[in-house]
Amino acid sequence: MNTVEMKINPGKTSAVPEWYASFEAELVPICAPTLAGFKSASIFSVRPTDPEYIHFKVEYWNEKLSKFGVRVTILKEGNAPRPTIIYVYRPHRVQADLDKAGVRDFLGHYGYAPDLSLEECLEILRERLSEGNKFPHEIGIFIGYPLEDVVPFVENKDRSGCCMGLWCAYCNKEEKEKFFNHCKRCTSIYTRLFHQGRPVEQMVVAC
């Protein structure tokens, strides 16, 4: 296996598998709209070849990004060959999503009490993710999908919607397409800057 030199601890350099660099390579393009402040949260996955190092990466980026109002945490521990699921979110934005009309009632169908805090809700989400290999229906709420699209996606078996982008939208086509295109451009720019060597911290918007 190819290895690259990476700093694991200050003053200590170790040869580690090349795939470790993929953490940032997934973080930037998948979470770009969240890092830019357009979207409340995103998720991505990494292979659990070395769980200890994944935890290091999560702690490292959580510390780096928290000053911008962004948190990084693990939603589901991977167990080879299944990946570890990483959650990148802006707590105040996700909390605002949870407080929108109808959201708490919707989540109540999946075992979320109406008075739970965001962190308590995330604990339930972790439990539900651990129960199987599929994403629970309500996860869309936690990654910025509007209730008006999450509910019909759950109920509509053909899931055709009116337009497709970061999610399947069922209404307000023009508005959603504009948002999807905005996020697509953001992802393209962030990915290009990342590959050009721009530090991740310099691409995060505080909001």
- Percent of the chain with pLDDT strictly greater than 70: 88
- The 3-state DSSP class for residue 137 equals coil
**Whole-number percent of the chain with pLDDT over 90:** 74
Report yes or no: 39 and 182 within 8 Å, Cβ to Cβ.
no
Name the DSSP class of 206. P
Which of these, 151, 137, 205, 148, lies nearest to 175 by C-alpha position? 148
What local confidence, expressed as pLDDT, does residue 2 receive?
31
Q: Give me the count of residues in the chain.
A: 207
Residue 134: per-residue pLDDT: 85
Q: Residue range 70-79: average pLDDT? A: 94
Q: Nearest 5°: CA angle at 133, between 132 and 136?
A: 70
Distance CA 147, CA 165 (A): 16
In this predicted model, what pLDDT tens digit does every residue of 125-154 receive, in sequence order? 999 999 877 899 899 999 999 999 999 999
pLDDT of residue 21: 56
User: pTM for the full model?
Assistant: 0.87
Query: Residue 74: is its pLDDT beyond 80?
Result: yes
Query: Residue 158: what pLDDT?
Result: 67
Average pLDDT over residues 97-120: 96
Supply the pLDDT for residue 84.
93
| Band of pLDDT at residue 16, cut at 50, 70 and 90 | very low
